[in-house]
Amino acid sequence: MKECEHFKKLLCDYLDGELSKEQCAEFEKHIDNCTNCDEIINNLKDIIDECKNQGTLTIPEHMKMSLKTYIKEKIRIKGE
C-alpha cells in the first residue's frame, strides 16, 4: 500500500498530462495491476468528465460584488 501512496500523489499530474513518459508508463503499469488505484483513477475521470459537461456558469453581478466585498474584508482582517 505504500506504493499506492506514491502513485496517489501523482494523480493530478497524471490526469493533467504533466508526467514524463517514464513516469506515465510507471503510473499506468501500477494502475493496471492495482484494482484500488484503477478504481480511484476511473472515478476521478468520471467526475472530471461530468464537470466538463456542466458548461459555464454565469454568476449574477450582485453575487460577484458580494463575493468581492467578502474577500476584500477577509484579506483586510488577515493583514491586521
**What's this model's pTM, rounded to 2 decimal places?**
0.59
pLDDT score recorded for residue 1: 64
Domain region containing 22: 2-79
| C-alpha to C-alpha distance for 5 and 39, rounded to whole angstroms | 14
Q: Please provide the average confidence, as pLDDT, over all residues in the chain.
A: 88
Instruction: Give Cβ neighbours of residue 41 (< 8 Å, ≥ 6 apart).
Output: 11, 14, 15, 31
| Res. 78: pLDDT tops 90 | no
How many CB atoms are located within 10 Å of the residue 8 CB?
A: 13
Structural domains of the chain, count: 1
* Residue 29: per-residue pLDDT: 93
**Residue 79 confidence (pLDDT) above 80:** no
